[in-house]
Structure 1
Amino acid sequence: MQYKITLIPGDGIGPEVTNAAVKVIEAAGVNVEWDIVNAGAGVIEEAGTPLPEAVLESIRNNKIALKGPLTTPVGSGFRSVNVALRKEFDLYANVRPTKTFAGVENKFENIDLIIVRENTEDLYAGVEHMVGKDAAESIKIITREGSTRVVRYAFELARKQGRKKVTAVHKANIMKCSDGLFLECCRQVATEYPDIEFDDSIVDAMCMRLVQYPENYDVMVLPNLYGDIVSDLCAGLVGGMGMAPGANIGKDVAVFEPVHGSAPDIAGQNISNPLSTILSGVMMLRHLDEHEKADNIQTAVEAVLAEGKDVTPDLKGTASTDEMAEAIINKLK
């Protein structure tokens, strides 16, 4: 079967890591026609926007995309291409697995958890304004519909993957209306899944527990802001952002992307860790029910990491981005 998939190379190191992922996916035997479209800071001068209509049209047609990191202006200008894509296609669930790999230096073993982050509401809805000259106000939006569907997604994911527990993370002790509603929705949905254990935790306490006993957690579901912060914390537990894949899932469209940024300071040097993008590609293949090919890539990645020879500088190696991708391809062969 041939797939037509939108490919957005991205800014900074984006083209390097997406190129590596494309090579690995093709080497695994997946038949893909890549529909390459450009977005981000690099196209603003030519297109007048970081998110040209051609990008949106490609994703609408193909329903699935693999994208590199995009640069978001700080403080002013276009708010975020990533946020715009999530709103345009109602990509309501942001999924970020966190897993320890043999050969990657970290302080923990046996971490294998998934962050499911609500992706369209909360403070990231971007409803904010100035109050006079000296105060700014942001509105935290939590809805029953938005909370219920992302919590149900988390439970369905847990059931599909044979996981045992879902933990809701919140600050309902302080934000009794907004986070209180999120927690209420979690508790209601949990009653529909008696086969899966459910508990909840206040977000600050969860951050402490994650750096003490991360192996105790399985699937966590969080509102948008907490999910963003806690998923980055979890990436730090297993080797950094280069090890952190991600997916944005909607009803009809899915966009897969590395969690890390565009790292313009090392762009063009061919030293970026491509694993976050490659593992995002693995998630994409599982979404397409190409489980055998996804497993083969995962196994090849694990073998390269365990050997520790052909890895990039952030993993204490000397390999280039291309060399690490080639080592994974050789394991596939």
Structure 2
Amino acid sequence: MNLSKNSLSRCLLSRGFKTCSSLKLTNTDKAHSATPVSQPAGKQVVTMIPGDGVWPELMHSVKDVFKLANVPVVFDEKIVSEVQPLQSCSNEEFMEAVKKSNVCIKGIMQTPTSSGKGELESVNMAMRKMLDLYANVVLVKSIPGLNTRHNNVDIIVIREQTEGEYSSLEHESVKGVVESLKIITSEKSRRVAKFAFDYATKHDRKKVTAIHKANIMKLADGLFLESCREMSKLYPRIQFDDMIIDNTCMQLVSNPYQFDVMVMPNLYGSIIDNLAAGLVGGAGVVPGESYSSDVVMFEPGARHSFAEAQGKNIANPTAILLCAANMLKHMNLERHGFRIESAVYKVIKSGKVRTQDMGGYATTNEFVAAVCKAL
């Protein structure tokens, strides 16, 4: 595994994070102690990061559904949080767990707005760099029974997520003037481009579109675009085109059917992920996953902690349940994955039990109960 040594540790410690071994564990904390979870006979271990805001509650939904469906998985739960530093485990414990399981399911972690002082790199970004999770894949697909402006949308958004504007290289050169560096390299551009074409080939997709702003950032985005063009020559059966980011936003909302697989630098991916999620029902229904050469991390495609819904029992668990189903398919537990996926789709298609964001009045618990009943 290609690890950035101590980068996550420095980021955590700069915010006052403690290692798990230095904490006084309460009864509720003992499940997150430094002792690794052993693999029971006939079961696979998955690292779980509950996340912030409403996501720890939604992770309980995953546990409930897995228990009812008799999924042969045991969760090794690790708390990593930027807004709750005293509860966060050490990076050594987290890395040990992930390297052992190679599969992780993660709730959304909240990243506070920086005041301009201290460590600039978020824990989220440090984690992705340390694990080298270079390719984020968001599955933007219409769900039958969920009414949206566009029907039958099916787009794959692939985002390079280890560099670009998220490089956290900023400084105030003189008072009132801040310089922020955007890093684009040919190595990582080619790597994510190859991932996009390989993904298209494996999943029988016909076209890859590179999203950029090379007309203005001629060197940085020009390098990314040229890397994609060079890679496309190795895949003659996959159609390739490119589009400027601002035009892409307009084209997505007016005619999303022209897109199949999209590949882009980091910041553009963040924008397109959220725009595309709105096409199919919002942040609560879009699953995602991030890849390194060794690890796959499954997390919702639209990264909102939804902290205002914490404890209100109103959040939509669809995205995290679909992430969990996709995770099971990745782990060669296809039967369990398809069962859970089908149950979620069945509940939504019936229209009887829907959370507020889907136009209904059901609580989180009621939606999960309906999925369990469908199982």
Between 74-83 and 302-311, the greater mean CA deviation after superposition: 74-83
- Tell me, which stretches of 5 or more residues in structure 1 are unaligned? none
Determine the C-alpha separation between the residues in 2 that align with 1:260 and 1:174. Answer: 28
Query: Do 2:81 and 2:87's aligned partners in 1 also have CA atoms closer than 8 Å?
Result: no
Q: Distance in 2 between matches of 1:195 and 1:29?
A: 42
CA distance in 2, matches of 1:286, 1:132: 52
Match of 2:106 among 49, 67, 74: 67
Number of equivalent positions: 330
SS of the residue 1:45 aligns to? helix
Alignment partner of 1:129: what SS?
Answer: strand
- Judge conservation of contact 1:124–1:225 (CA < 8 Å) in 2: yes
Q: Is the 8 A contact 2:83 2:112 kept in 1?
A: no
Structure 2 match to 1:303: 346
| Distance in 2 between residues matched to 1:151 and 1:221, nearest whole Å | 7
Q: Shift of the alpha carbon at 1:22?
A: 2.6
Shift of the alpha carbon at 1:23? 2.5
Of residues 297, 311, 315, the one that matches 1:268 is: 311
| 1:164 aligned onto 2:206 | yes
**Pairs within 5 Å for 1:9-48:** 9-41=50-82, 43-46=84-87
Work out which of the two has the higher radius of gyration on C-alpha atoms and give 1 or 2: 2
What is the CA–CA distance in structure 2 between the aligned matches of 1:91 and 1:43, rounded to whole Å? 23
In the aligned structure 2, how far is the partner of 1:281 from the partner of 1:174?
Answer: 40
Q: Residue in 1 aligned with 2:34? A: none
The secondary structure found in structure 2 opposite 1:255 is strand
Judged with a 3 Å threshold, the aligned counterparts in structure 2 of structure 1 residues 81 and 25 are, in CA distance, closer, same or farther, namely: farther
Name the residue aligned to 1:54: 93
Q: Quick one: distance in 1 between partners of 2:207 and 2:63?
A: 34
Identity of aligned residues (%): 43
| 8 Å contact kept, 1:242–1:260 | no
Distance 1:161 1:3 in 2: 26
Q: Give distance in 2, aligned partners of 1:46 and 1:269.
A: 22
Cα 1:31–1:169 change in 2 (3 A) is same
- In terms of mean alpha carbon deviation, does 71-80 or 124-133 score higher? 71-80
Residues 1-10 or 110-119, more deviating:
1-10
Which amino acid is the alignment partner of residue 315 of structure 1? M
How far apart are the structure 1 equivalents of 2:207 and 2:49? Answer: 35
Cα distance in 2 between the residues matched to 1:143 and 1:245: 28
Offset, 1:101: 1.1
- Segments of structure 2 that go 5 or more residues without pairing to the other structure are 1-41
The C-alpha deviation readout for 1:18-66, integer Å capped at 9, x for no partner, is 111232244444211110111114541355xx86432232112221111
Read off the aligned partner of 2:322 and give its amino acid letter.
L
What is the correspondence of 1:230-241 to structure 2 with a 5 Å cutoff?
A: 230-241=272-283
Matched, 1:155 2:194: no
Instruction: Establish whether residue 223 from structure 1 lines up as the match of residue 262 from structure 2.
Output: no
Aligned 8 A contact 1:40 1:51 in 2? no
Structure 1 position 88 matched with structure 2 position 127: no
**What is the TM-score normalised by the length of structure 2?**
0.84
2:237 to 183, 195, 214: 195
- Aligned-residue RMSD, C-alpha: 1.6
Query: Of residues 316, 324, 349 in structure 2, which corresponds to 1:281?
Result: 324
Kept in 1: contact 2:211–2:264 (CA 8 A): yes
CA deviation vs aligned residue, 1:105-126 (integer Å, no higher than 9, x gap): 3100110111000010101111
Change (3 A) 1:105 1:256: same
Per-residue deviation, 1:260: 3.2
Question: What's the offset of the Cα at 1:311?
Answer: 1.6
CA distance in 1, matches of 2:332, 2:262: 23
Residue identity opposite 2:284 in structure 1:
G
Q: 1:169 to 1:97 in 2, by over 3 A?
A: same
The 1-side partners of 2:162 and 2:90 are apart by: 18
Q: Which whole-Å CA distance do the structure 2 matches of 1:108 and 1:51 have between them?
A: 45
> Is the deviation greater in 55-64 or in 75-84?
75-84
* Structure 1 outlier segments of 4+, above 6 Å: none
Give a deviation string over 1:165-210, Cα, whole Å, max 9, x none: 1111111111111111111111111111111111111111111100
What does residue 368 of structure 2 align with? 325
Residues of 1 paired with 2:180 and 2:278: CA distance? 28
Greater displacement, 113-122 / 254-263: 254-263
